[in-house]
Every structure is written in structure tokens, then in C-alpha cells.
Amino acid sequence: MSGSPYPLGLRLAGRRVVVVGGGVVATRRMPALLDAGADVLLVAPELTPALRAHADAGRLRWERRRFAVDDLDGAWLVQVAVDDPSAAAAISTVADERRIFCVRADDRAAATAWTPAVTRQGPVTVAVLGGGDPRRAMAVRDAVRDLLAAGPGPLDPPPADAGARGVPGPARPTRRGGHVALVGAGPGDPELITVKGRRLLTEAEVVVADRLVPGLLLDELRPEVELVDAAKIPYGPARAQEEINQILVDRALAGRSVVRLKGGDPYVFGRGGEELLACAGAGVPVTVVPGVTSAIAAAAGAGVPVTHRAVAHEFTVVSGHVSPDSSASMVRWEHLAGLRGTLVILMGLKNLAAISATLVTYGRPAQTPAVVVQEGTTGAQRTIRSTLGVVAADVTAAGLRPPAIVVVGDVVGALDL
């Protein structure tokens, strides 16, 4: 039976969605499901680092095995992203028998539901189906996104010659030889990437992405784009930096347009400098696109400025990845303790007890206000306010986890009304 698809917006908050498969396709689809608030059951023997991070953070439930029929108990939707067509067909058959809509990555014609090409502009969500052709859907989606972004408003009539121009296709890289763009994806909210960064994503043939990039940006990639998961999980598995460098160089030397997508800004504890040097050493041209760093944006998202008139005239951003008592530490914590301004600590949750104790020991008052912001600027943001002397204990009691920033200073209460 054939027919035109019936467009529908699914409200999945709190409803069970089963995802079968733990590879790149599932990685690209997962952020939209989590953003919708779905109760996700992920069934796969192995996961990409990005999916593993979601599981470790408790955002989804992972069953480390192959699919079983009972997995669909109570499900509203199933997404199948496995390499074996016969296994995908078997799962689809079970879903049909239970009247559960099934999205299949391997065979759209055999699926009972399709995932549209999506763009979001504030409260507006635009979803486009291309009659089974994802490239057509993305071309229309990109045209609508550009129209909404250009303004002045979505209700304004298009130019008189819009019909003659037709709908442009998705952007393609200019064939001037391979190149790499180091793009800062911003602090977490997908709308906080720069205009240039988003444009380069639409032109990319290869995207090498860390775990901390906004997942919804990956959901907008064209289907033919190669997505390399270079997830860097704090204190967890990571692809060696040398291997990441080699991937960038190899793809670019093969003539491809590569985007290295990094959370925050590429040059703020992002090892972007090492990647630039590796590319330059191989003769690969590099473009650097700065990003909004969480050091400022996550604090702002929690209502905390890093400077404020008559409160703080300077702020210092420091990595807390290495404990103050380690011989590998390059931070002069005793000097930081003597500053009156704002101290922003990135990657510091694991060592927060040692960091706060060191600052107090060297003279920073234990009563100094402190705030910890987890997953800042996202829908999963959590914030606790405390003081320097007890902030580590409060973080443990609240169960906060990376990624998070710590802000220490009187600015924490500067905007309280």
C-alpha cells in the first residue's frame, strides 16, 4: 500500500522510544529524541563514545546486547539503525505486528515512518519530508532555514522573483582542494554557533565531532556526510589526539572539505592549536572559526556575569583537569587565591575538593560565593549555588557531573533582585 505521508508532530516526552543500534546513525538521531524528552531504550552490543556518554549520564537506558522482542513492550516508536538488513527487517516486522511506527535507516521504502529534515528558529520547528529523498528534504530545509535566519520575519512575503529562482540545493564545498575548518560549536545551545560555523557545516563532506558539541547540529547534516565520532569524555575513553590529527590531514589531502567541530571555542582548552599545527605541517589549509566559550556563556545562562561594575573588574579562566597537588599542574593556585576578581574553572569537578581547599589555604575566604553550572545553556542545565568552603560537598550531594563550570567570586550574587 502506498500513499502520501501524513505529517505529524510527535510529543514524545516521557514516552518509550526504542533505538536499535549503537553506531553513527544512532549517534546522529539520539540528540533530537533526548531533546524531545523521550524515554529512550538503546539496544546495542557496542556504542560510540558519544552514545556511551549519554548512557553514563543517565539520559537513556542501555541494554548491551542484541534486540529482543520484549524490548518493544510499551514502546511508541522504534528507530532501527543496524547494518544487517535481515535483522532490520525482522525488527520492523515485530513493530508492525504491535502497531508501533518504525524508522529504518537501511531501507526507507520498508519503513512505516520517516524522520524529516528539521531546522529550528526560536519556538518555530520546520520539518520537511522529501518523498523518500533525504537530499531533496534537506535542500528545502536549508532554504527555509536561510529564509528564517535572514529575516526580517517568517510572515513577510518572499521577494517577487523567488518563484523564478526556485529552491536552492544544499550547499556544496567549493572544489579548491581539501581543507579543514576548526569550528567552535558554542556552549551547548545549538543556536549559539556562529553564522559562519553553521554555514561551514552545511558545506562539509566530513565532520569530526567531540561529545560536547550540540547534538542537534549533527542531526542537520546531509546524509552523505561522513561523521567521525571523536568524543572526548572527561575522565573516560577518548580517541588519541594524534589519531584525530591524522584523520583531519588524511581526509583533507584526499580533497575533502573537513569540519572539526569542537565544543565552545577551538582554542580554549580544545587542543585546536595542535590540530592546526598538524594540518599546517602537512600542507593542509585551515580556517579557524571562534566559538562562544562556556566559561562566559554557561555562567550567563545561570544569571551570573563574570564581571560587574564595582564588583569585579577582571576574570580568570583556568583548567581544573590537573589537581593542584600534582607535579603536572601548571597553575599557580596560590597566586589565584590572592586575586579579588572572578575565577572560572573548567573541567574541575573531579578535583574540586582539592582546588577549593587550596584556594582557601592560600587566602581566598571560604565564604566566597560560588556557583556550579552543569550542561549550561541546554535544556538539561542544572545549577547549584554555594560557597567556596563547601562547594565540593554540595556538588557531590547534588550528583552533578561533567561537563560543568565553576564560578567563584562576588559576581555570583551580583544580579540577584
Q: Residue 163 burial by CB count (10 A; 0-12/13-18/19+): exposed, middle or buried? A: exposed
Quote the Cα angle for 78-67-212, to 5°.
Answer: 65
- Cα gap 412→344, rounded to integer Å: 11
> N- to C-terminal Cα distance for the chain?
62
| Buried-exposed string 87-119: b where 16+ CB fall within 10 A, e elsewhere | bbeebbebbeeeebbbbbbbeeeebebbbbbbb
Handedness of CA 331, 377, 383, 13 (dihedral sign): negative
Number of H helices and E strands in the chain, helices first, is 13, 17
- Nearest by Cα to 315 from 325, 323, 306: 306
Catalytic residue check, 210: yes
Phi and psi dihedrals of 265, rounded to 5? -115, 140
User: Going along 185-265, which residue ranges are E strands?
Assistant: 206-209, 226-229, 257-262
Q: Residue 384 burial by CB count (10 A; 0-12/13-18/19+): exposed, middle or buried? A: middle
318 with 346: CB under 8 angstroms? yes
Of the candidates 71, 106, 189, 232, the residue annotated as catalytic is 232
Catalytic residue check, 219: no
- Cα gap 72→79, rounded to integer Å: 11
Of the candidates 210, 219, 229, 265, the residue annotated as catalytic is 210
- Cα gap 279→283, rounded to integer Å: 6
162 with 181: CB under 8 angstroms? no
* Cβ contacts of 417 within 8 Å, gap of 6 or more: none
Q: Pairing between strand 315-319 and 286-289?
A: unpaired
Cell of 409: 567570586
47 with 62: CB under 8 angstroms? yes
Handedness of CA 312, 358, 57, 247 (dihedral sign): positive
Q: List the catalytic residues.
A: 210, 232
